[in-house]
Structure 1
């Protein structure tokens, strides 16, 4: 087994752990911030998390691309790549715009609910990607 299956599992695990941390810790804390303190809390959250998102998504992109190029016939690799891409797309097309609105307009209940829902989709996609990445690695190990 070459390095790409291991890198894919590592990147998918990092991504899933990151998403679970956002889902279980960061967003619940953000939702509970009093309205008069929300703008500052949201700005700090955004400033702190953006570099981490870039790092996690960058590593994930490299690992998925490498795995796809070295194992284009693996359904599990395609599932991991598609699920990872889905999480990134939900971030770009739903969560990021919602964060922009939260920064400009404040913590409306509908905006916070929409953000939490989008985050659950991202987390589910990240977990699917992790399961698929592990399945790919296991199949490679068993068939050696």
Structure 2
């Protein structure tokens, strides 16, 4: 049977890679779209990204739950907490901000809120990966 902490590191690596890609590639590309094309670009982004976010977050929930139940050590719990912070930030800040961007269009306030929430999510995902890797050792 696979080890829950190894699974947490593997799914955590996917999570960190996803968040880094969003931070470095996706959001800068979206922010560079002119206001006249933003609604179309944002709608396309939203349709495409959900195909990745849904399964990734589902895998994180399952693996985090498995790790908490079978390996409730401090480093494992810290890794789970970090990934959980990223997912909660997605649900409570990033997703609603995307909703507002989709209806209102780009504004400095909304784009700043999205950037800050993205920074939190990316740092949390990377921290979750590092903590899971440390827990393996």
- TM-score, normalized by length of structure 2? 0.97
Aligned to 2:89: 90
Q: Provide Cα deviations, 1:14-57, integer angstroms capped at 9, x if missing partner.
A: 00000000000000000000000000000000000012101111
1:141 alignment partner in structure 2 = none
Are 1:45 and 2:55 counterparts?
A: no
Deviation at 1:3, TM superposition (A): 2.1
Listed as ranges, the matches of 1:11-90 within 5 Å are 11-72=11-72, 74-90=73-89
Deviation at 1:2, TM superposition (A): 4.6
Structure whose CA Rg is larger: 1
The unaligned stretches of length 5 or more in structure 1 are 139-144
1:134 paired with 2:133, answer yes
CA distance, structure 2, for counterparts of residue 26 and residue 2 of structure 1 = 33
The SS at the match of 1:107 is coil
Alignment gaps of 5+ in structure 2: none
Counterpart position of 2:3:
3
TM-score when normalising by structure 1: 0.92
Q: Aligned residue pairs: how many? A: 137
- Alpha-carbon distance in 2 for matches of 1:84, 1:116: 18
CA RMSD in angstroms comes to 1.1
